[in-house]
Amino acid sequence: MHPAPSVIIFSTISGLGFGLMLFMGLGLPATSGLTTAAFATLALGLATVGLLASTFHLGRPMNAIYAFSQWKTSWLSREGIMAILTLGVFFIYAVLWAFMDMRIAALGYLSALMAMGTVFTTAMIYTQMKSVPRWNSASTPLLFWLYSAAGGALLANQMTAALLLLGLLAAFQALAWAHGDSALARSGSTIETATGLGALGKVRLLEKPHSGENYLLKEMVYVVARKHAAKLRVIALIAAALLPAVLILLLDVNYFILAGLVLLHVIGLFAARWLFFAEAEHVVGLYYDAR
């Protein structure tokens, strides 16, 4: 599928913010006063900027409010509702902690749980899509969780947790790529099922269904060259997980080095998330014989 910049920015930046909320909800880092306020502002800022970026992907951003009414059937609606509730609960928790020296553990645990719940609703927007077999897997929400939590651990300067999460992230991301490469073939979708002509025998296209580009070809049948995808996978894996983990083991992490680790992770995260969309093979591509 066509990788929309607004969706990539939304799902990466907001995920980092909710990941930091996870650790702050657990009372980490153990700070107070203005330092706590600074961490909370960073978490709220990242989550809010990411959510605002998502509205640019809508045809009419001003109508985004109507999405909240479809919570019974739409994961997009559930995501919006969960995000607002999470921001509200975390804001109250952070204000009490930073300015009144009252860290209410129960409220923190609730905000941490809600932060991960919000990330889950974002992932489910894609996981539910049977028309994209690569996404329609338990690995999708797992990876969204791991990217969010690993980024949050780095932002919260929790190196032990970061090492564990980065290791899990590298392993499951590699497995997800390997499993996803054959997802379309395993789904049972073929050009015969795409055209509905399977009962007549083997189908092949004599000509394309359209003489020019259309919306489906532009948005749903985006094809990334295999050699480019392989390079980006290496970059994503090294930058997002492997190199930060090695540097944590080798260096005495201070705030300057921490900033570099976060930057590396974000570079890898953007590469991985771009591939998440670019490598998504929508079954409609079979109708155009584009695989």
In which band, very low, low, confident or very high, does the pLDDT at 193 lie, cut at 50, 70 and 90? low
Same domain? For 156 and 273 the reply is yes
Task: Identify the pLDDT of residue 240.
Answer: 97
In the predicted model, is pLDDT for residue 227 greater than 50? yes
Same domain? For 31 and 154 the reply is no
Structure-derived torsion over alpha carbons of residues 128, 24, 241, 183, reported in degrees to the nearest 10? -10
152 lies in which domain range?
Answer: 132-291
Task: Identify the pLDDT of residue 268.
Answer: 97
Task: Evaluate whether 134 touches 175 at the Cβ level (below 8 Å).
Answer: no
Same domain? For 95 and 223 the reply is no
HSE-CB for 253 with a 13 A CA cutoff? 21
Task: Evaluate whether 116 touches 145 at the Cβ level (below 8 Å).
Answer: yes
If you average pLDDT over each of 125-139, 170-184, 214-228, 232-246, which comes out highest? 232-246
- Interval 262-275: pLDDT, tens: 999 999 999 999 99
Q: Which residue has better confidence, 155 or 206?
A: 155
Last residue of a domain, one of 94, 128, 162: 128
Same domain? For 147 and 291 the reply is yes
Task: Evaluate whether 238 touches 264 at the Cβ level (below 8 Å).
Answer: no
Same domain? For 62 and 105 the reply is yes
Ramachandran region, residue 33 (left: φ > 0; alpha: ψ -120 to 50; beta: rest): left
Mean pLDDT score of the chain, rounded to an integer?
Answer: 86
Same domain? For 149 and 109 the reply is no
What pTM did the predictor assign?
Answer: 0.89
Taking Cα atoms as reference points, which of 139, 116, 123 lies closest to residue 23? 116
In the predicted model, is pLDDT for residue 162 greater than 90? yes
Can you tell me the distance from the alpha carbon of 89 to that of 93, in angstroms, rounded to the nearest whole number?
6
Structure-derived torsion over alpha carbons of residues 213, 278, 6, 71, reported in degrees to the nearest 10? 100
What is the percent of the chain with per-residue pLDDT over 70, rounded to a whole number? 77
For the chain, the domain total comes to: 2
Last residue of a domain, one of 64, 93, 128: 128
Same domain? For 69 and 152 the reply is no
Q: What is the mean pLDDT of residues 13-23?
A: 97
In which band, very low, low, confident or very high, does the pLDDT at 50 lie, cut at 50, 70 and 90? confident
Same domain? For 11 and 65 the reply is yes
Same domain? For 261 and 153 the reply is yes
Last residue of a domain, one of 81, 102, 128: 128
Q: Label residue 179 exposed, middle or buried (CB < 10 Å: 0-12, 13-18, 19+).
A: middle
Return the structure tokens found at 107: 């409220």
Same domain? For 141 and 208 the reply is yes
In this structure, the number of other CB atoms found within 10 A of the CB of residue 206 comes to 4
Same domain? For 215 and 286 the reply is yes
Same domain? For 121 and 140 the reply is no
Task: Identify the pLDDT of residue 290.
Answer: 46
Task: Identify the pLDDT of residue 166.
Answer: 98
* Phi, psi torsion values for 22, nearest 5 degrees: -55, -50
